[in-house]
Chain A
Amino acid sequence: MNRFKLIPIFSILLVFGGSTISDAYAYIDPGSGSVMIQGLIGALVGAGIAIKLYWAKIRMALETKFSKS
């Protein structure tokens, strides 16, 4: 994978990333690249978890509705 292929990935990352937070007292360097990628991965997995949760809720709602009818 060359760096040009990564541009869309890092663009998404910036969208998911965003605003600011004050400096916390980290004594280890989290590393620029590590900070930038974790937002993306977290967002992807976080979205997956959210979809799963909502899907379960929707399914339950549908099942309740159909079982009643």
Chain B
Amino acid sequence: MTVVSIGDLLAVLPELLVAGAGCLVLVLDPLTASDRKDRLAYLSLGALGAAFVASYWFMGLSRPMFSGLYALDAYGTFWKLLLLAVAAFVILLAQSHLKLEAIDLGEFYAFILLSLSGMMVMVSGTDLLVIYLGLELMSISLYIMVGFKRFERRSLEAAAKYFILGSFSSGILLYGISLLFGRTGSTTLAGIRAGIAGLPVGDPVLLLAMVLLIVGFGFKVAAVPFHMWTPDVYEGAPTTVTAYLSVASKAASFAAFMRVFLEALGGLKTDWQMLLVAVCIATMILGNVVAIVQTNIKRMLAYSSIAHAGYALIGLVVADASGVAGVMLYMALYAFMTMGAFTVVAVLRKGGLEGDTIEDFTGLARRNKWAALLMLLFMISLAGIPPTAGFIAKFYIFMAAVGAHLTWLAVIAVIFAAVSAYFYLRVVMVMYMREPGEAAGAPGYGVRIALSPGVIAVLLVAAAGVLLLGVYPDPLVKAAQSAILPPR
């Protein structure tokens, strides 16, 4: 056993910065006046910025660390940069949104940072237990964040549901890990890989362990049939948390999912591909079809996020370089449009309207044309229509599928992408094609939506990302393609 070296500690500097800042925020919180919680936000943003710079600086580096339990590699760095950016956006959005919801507590920023450090561990861990540790740190922080509106029953119900189902799925994941350990004698990804190579094909315990891992990760990425928690939790959680949940936690889970399945379970590829194809198709179908009947925009976006997990899963099913790059690109582009959409929902809440049901968007184009225009942009991007980021994301996923002779899967995906256009466009329809007449009596109607600089920044970045990356995705494509997992 080697001792922890200075080099190792330096390489996890971004993680240390984020986790340290999280603890610092917890300590400083009681010392901060209740109307000065902004300072904690700025502190968190500063830590995220420093971690971002550090990660960016490490971009070209690649080294195993801590006796092979952890790795600094291009793959992890790509995800870390994405997660750091998303967390920063969530904090910018939360600053004003928390005040409005009267939940302006300093702990919020601490939990964001702590869950983020969990995610960063997840995407870089090369040992199942380390990944599990990161996953639990992320999940436990998220359980609390979901229930942050503690005086509202919906929020508490969501937190309880998320906690119970989440711990159950973590248990299943852990069970899978222990079975793998029992069969291969290792918990590191490389060790498991070597162990599987020495075992006979079709070993039942291995297959069971693989299925359990799929259940565990499937829950985190909200794949059917492990998606049941998603709509309730998305609806009940404060909108900022929903945004964080649907973007960051999904991205980190996909990152770990891919690393574990490609690096540790690469030997069982034919087995898990078969299972994942079924999961992937079911996810696309259920997500897109059930979203049609939703009347609550957050529930609709929840089902839409399930559907998008389905599209991203295509990349994992393909499981070659283009598939992995496709998933990375998909989650990065998905981050822009989903952050944008949830931000608009959160902003509307600020206007005094509830902003939760799709009906609340009625005639938005007349009341606030910029909010309507941005929502239009995010909706067509989610529907995958060019020239937006959503199209590029789907394009690369379909390229990967067709390149791997899974054209039929791409055809199923496009059919349900066409279905999805229906419910995304319904939002556009109520915004642009209905008179605000019937909503005119609603409380807060006509209130000008006051935007904080933070929210404006989030909206601008999201809109610019959706449009610019939709027109010129080359830099991001190159970044993703150069950061894929090394082939084994």
Same complex origin of A and B: no
Q: Which residues of A come within 8 Å of B, CB atoms?
A: none
